[in-house]
Structure 1
Amino acid sequence: LKDIYRGSFLRNLDRIFFYKGKHFLTEEDFKDSEKSEKFDTAEYAKLLGTLQLEKALDCLDVYVDNAISRHSLGEMELKTLVQNAWYRMISILEDEGLNADDLSYLKRDCLVKIYACPYAEDFKRLFHVMEADFRSLVRKYKIDSQSDIIKNILGYIDKHYNEQLTLSSLAKQFNFSYSYLSSYFRSHSAEGFSEYLNKVRIFHAAELLRKGTSAISDVCGAVGYMDQSYFTRVFKKSVGITPREYRRKYRR
């Protein structure tokens, strides 16, 4: 009896979490548990870092629903995972300047209500309520990696990449201060202004090299670069080979 207690009984004790209303369980009841893949914390962090918050919520939602339906995580393991995920999202929302009052109840629920849920059914219900609250805040404050402002900025760069664009000229175009636009661009785009502009220019340069016969110096000027040696360095860094090598390899 002692061996059974120390073995399968203790090992499956927290699985009672999944059997609300069932007072008598046998070892057979626990054989339907499936081993769960680990939650992809790296992908979740990436989505948070690029402000793709609703996608991050989708990612967590799918994982939690699967873990509960398959009984693949123990009670404390599941609760701790969700609490940590919520806290990371709250931290992002704080960085975005959300009203502290809007976040206080979420912090409280993370700390108290999650661990107070006695069964998976109750936990799942609370999880989806909190998830809806997070989504509501994201939409209320329009926190989006591709908000209208950044969409307009990126769209302008896409249309005017061949001009002498600078962060200063872009700030003037959109009536922002230089420092504000620099900070805004970094926080709402996966790359900085220079990186994005170079990416767009190199994309169009590669297209011209594949399809056209213009001299490389002309291609350089056509996509907005004044210095051919700089263009060559940027192109090679992005593509892995020089413009001349690229043309020989991919020209149609």
Structure 2
Amino acid sequence: MVNFLKMQNDTLNDRLNIQIALEGVILDSIKAGQLNNALKTYKKIVNVYILNDIGNGCRLRCIKNHIISLSALINRMIIDIGINSNLLKIKNYKFLNKIESSNSIKDVIAMGEKMIEEYCNVILDNYSCTENILIRKAISYIHNNFSENIKLDDVCNHVHISKTYFCSLFKKYTGMCFSKYLNNIRIEKSKELLKKNEMSILDISIAVGFNNQSYFSKLFKDNTGITPKEFRKNYFNKYIYK
């Protein structure tokens, strides 16, 4: 009899450990904005919830209690990363009402899926807002310092994120890598200076951040199809000497 009870307790402990582990995966997936993985894990945990009865033998009540508990865990995680708690209170209240008013296990489970989807969107919206701020800050820094010998490390340090994350983020929002974006700014600025005929091409290349005139001329031609000298000549022939 003692051994049988021990086996029951061991089985219950195993199920509880599985439940805790799966809930952890759901929280991590939502935090990372990985909706598909969160929903996939949620489908696994529903079966565990049914086995871990916290509804006094009523399966519907059991599922409701587990999903309400999961909602509380998700809310706490989202608040901990600094997202507006008032918004979460409204969403949480809405979900609790819908869960409690549901009359079937199928509806409660579906409401849990909807809950995870909406919370995941809250995370993604927050990350999107944060990403926009970081990229705007980085772009402003580049525009203000393009004439200096700025490096990728300088920009990453300015916005306080890793190079890997910055490069991924920058490409996502600008469609190009950091070096190409920086060179494009320098080339556009050099065009303005070439139109004034006040500086030599060497001085212009230095003024816009290039230490090597040959490299500047090569990039300029790659970008425009003509050399800086040809660009200046064409501009003056078209607009000044006509």
- What TM-score, normalized to structure 2? 0.47
Instruction: Indicate the structure (1 or 2) with the bigger Cα radius of gyration.
Output: 2
| Greater relative CO (CA pairs within 8 A, separation 6+) | 1
